[in-house]
Amino acid sequence: MLNKVMLIGRVGKDAELRSTAAGREVISFSLATSKTWTSNGEKKEQTEWHNIVYFGKAAATIAKWITKGRKVWIEGEIQYKQWEDKQTGSKRYSTQIQAESIQFLDKGKEQEISLPSSIPDFSTTDRQSYDTMDDIPF
């Protein structure tokens, strides 16, 4: 089975760093992905918002780089959560992406951070920068 998500978008707010009850560091942030098209000569745009999380020892370092407006490529897996609202008793649902790798696509800041769950540290390498979705080689 395969659960793989790849998103390219802009960070909606600075990453929040916190710790789980077990002391594990986690960062979370929102990511906006947009698509544009023309319909009857009128340009249209649709934006989707995604909740991104990363657990691991590198979270504190990565949190410093995940700032509002940064253009990033996220690879990870989609997770669905369900819980009961204690006040109303109704079921609540959420969807999030657990990041496994983050690539910064900002011009002049081409860095890739690999975040496999089995390796707590990350490495940095130079990568090509893409200015528009049309420049992505696939």
pTM exceeds 0.75: no
**Which of 56, 30, 67 minimizes the C-alpha distance to 114?**
56
Span 5-36+44-133: which CATH code?
Answer: 2.40.50.140
27 bridge partner residues: 17, 54
pLDDT at position 32: 97
Give the pLDDT confidence score for residue 135 in this predicted structure.
Answer: 42
CB-CB contact of 35 with 67 (8 Å): no
Amino acid at position 38, single letter: T
* Domain-wise residue ranges, the chain: 5-36+44-133
Q: What angle do CA 105, 36, 15 make, to 5 degrees?
A: 40
Q: Across the 138 residues of the chain, what is the mean pLDDT of every consecutive 10-residue run?
A: 95 94 92 95 95 89 91 95 91 94 72 43 34 40
